[in-house]
Amino acid sequence: MRNLKNIYVLLISCLLALAMTASVFAGGSKDSGTTETFVYETKGPSGESPTSYDDVVLSDADMAAVRQNRYKAAILMHESTDWVNAVIAGARDMFGKLGIDVVAVTDAQMDSNKQRTDIETALALKPDIIVTLVVDPVSGAVALRQAINQGVKVVLISNLPSGFVHGKDYAGIVTDDLFAMGKSVAEMIGDSLGGKGEVALMFHDADYYVTNQRDKAVEAVLRRDYPEIKIVTKQGIVNPSDGDTITSAILTQYPRVNAVYAPWDSIAEGTVAAVRASGRKDVGVFTIDLGANSAMDLVKGGSMKGMVADLPYVLGETLAKMGALSALGKDTPAFVTVPAIKVTKDNIRTEWQRSLNRPLPPEVQQAMQ
């Protein structure tokens, strides 16, 4: 089995070499000029400027009106993760404070067909508000149209369903400050390397607004602010389980690499494993989102050197506020963001709590001692 994996890594390495050669004969790299038209700010899917979550506020009169109307809400999520659970917790708690009954919480398991069924099932419970992240913009739009036609107020997480118009079809989008997340990763890499070195970037090779924005920001800021850091390769990844194989191939093809960026935590776990297996203690791994395994490697002084997180609990609270305001017929902003935070070995205990609204896992706390 190990021999088969070695062959796979060798094959990937050869493909990397061929890709580089092809770009040379083509007269340059496909990356040239990528930052020239990059917008150094998080923008909404339709180009909206961001509104801070701090600006989404219910007055005392608003809260009294919401409690009097006794609205119902459904939280229809795309998957089940620590991040999703924190969003749900924040939304549940805020809905509870507002006297809004949560009648359904679902997990679509990243399946657009299941998500459509979840929406139809939830509508039978007659919610006034739906909070959701659509798995597929096209099928999600079709499924949510049923809710809109019934007068349900829809608040979106990150992704915009196809053809949806703010104020008509949905109350607003709440998401991370995606540019700030990518920028923070670039800064952590730059600081770790002292502004000099070679970096390999992985990117999510799919049409997915959130990860695409973050990945582009990492590259753009590195190129703009760290001219002595060389991006030696960019490798697309779709399946998170391929993180170790792609990283192994990168380390074989580019032996002078000092840092590797993995688009999110589950990919980073494989990247850390590959770096560890290579014996390269000089290579740091950087990623977005929190995970217990990555946190453990970070506090033990392993290959994981920095993580960037958002505030999913606060995001959930903001979604609930947006839903309540919309149910009252109040205007709501089109695009709302929550900030990014840098997580290091020194601050992980406090920042984990701040991000997920729960303590650092006991086993990680034990490792810190």
At 200, phi and psi to the nearest 5?
Answer: -110, 130
Q: Is the pLDDT of residue 110 over 90?
A: no
- Specify the pLDDT at position 3: 47
- Specify the pLDDT at position 49: 93
- Specify the pLDDT at position 277: 97
pLDDT-based confidence at 173, cuts 50/70/90? Answer: very high
Give how far Cα 161 sits from Cα of 79, 142, 175, Å. Answer: 17, 9, 14
DSSP string, 121-176: HHHTT--SEEEE--SSHHHHHHHHHHHHHTT-EEEEESPPPTT--BTTTBSEEEEE
Q: Please compute the mean of the pLDDT values over residues 95-110 and round it to a whole number.
A: 96
- Specify the pLDDT at position 46: 84
CB 336 within 8 Å of CB 50: yes
CA–CA separation, 9 vs 247, rounded Å? 9
The helix or strand, by DSSP H or E, that contains position 337, with its residue range, turns out to be: strand 335-338
Q: Is the pLDDT of residue 54 over 60?
A: yes
Question: What class, spelled out in words, does domain 51-176+312-338 have in CATH?
Answer: alpha beta
CA–CA separation, 273 vs 275, rounded Å? 6
Extended strands (E) in 8-142: 51-52, 72-77, 101-107, 129-132
Q: Is the pLDDT of residue 15 over 80?
A: no
Residue 206: Cβ within 10 Å count = 10
Helix, strand, coil share of the chain (percent; to 5): 50, 20, 35
Helix (H, G, I), strand (E, B) or coil at 50: coil
Q: Is the pLDDT of residue 23 over 60?
A: no
Q: Is the pLDDT of residue 26 over 70?
A: no
Question: 204: alpha, beta or left, given left = phi > 0 and alpha = psi -120 to 50?
Answer: beta
Alpha helices for 301-361 (secondary structure H): 312-327, 348-356
pLDDT tens for each residue of 261-291: 999 999 999 999 999 999 999 999 999 999 9
Domain covering 178-309+343-368: architecture = 3-Layer(aba) Sandwich (3.40)
Residue 337: Cβ within 10 Å count = 23
- Specify the pLDDT at position 17: 42
pLDDT tens for each residue of 291-342: 999 999 999 999 999 999 999 999 999 999 999 999 999 999 999 999 999 9
Give how far Cα 52 sits from Cα of 5, 93, 180, 198, Å. Answer: 47, 20, 13, 35
pLDDT tens for each residue of 350-360: 999 999 999 99
Q: Please compute the mean of the pLDDT values over residues 135-147 and round it to a whole number.
A: 94
At 116, phi and psi to the nearest 5?
Answer: -65, -40
At 332, phi and psi to the nearest 5?
Answer: -130, 145
Strand order in the sheet with 101-107: 51-52, 335-338, 172-176, 153-157, 129-132, 72-77, 101-107
Mean pLDDT score of the chain, rounded to an integer? 90
pLDDT tens for each residue of 76-91: 999 888 889 999 999 9
Helix (H, G, I), strand (E, B) or coil at 39: coil
- Specify the pLDDT at position 22: 34
Nearest to 58 by CA among 327, 335, 310: 327
CA–CA separation, 99 vs 183, rounded Å? 38
What secondary structure letter does DSSP report for 73?
E
pLDDT-based confidence at 37, cuts 50/70/90? Answer: confident
pTM: 0.81
**CATH 3.40.50.2300 domain span(s) along the chain:** 51-176+312-338, 178-309+343-368
pLDDT: which is higher, 8 or 235: 235
Q: Please compute the mean of the pLDDT values over residues 134-163 and round it to a whole number.
A: 95
Structure tokens given for 222: 């590195």
Which of 23-37, 169-183, 238-252 has the weakest average pLDDT?
A: 23-37
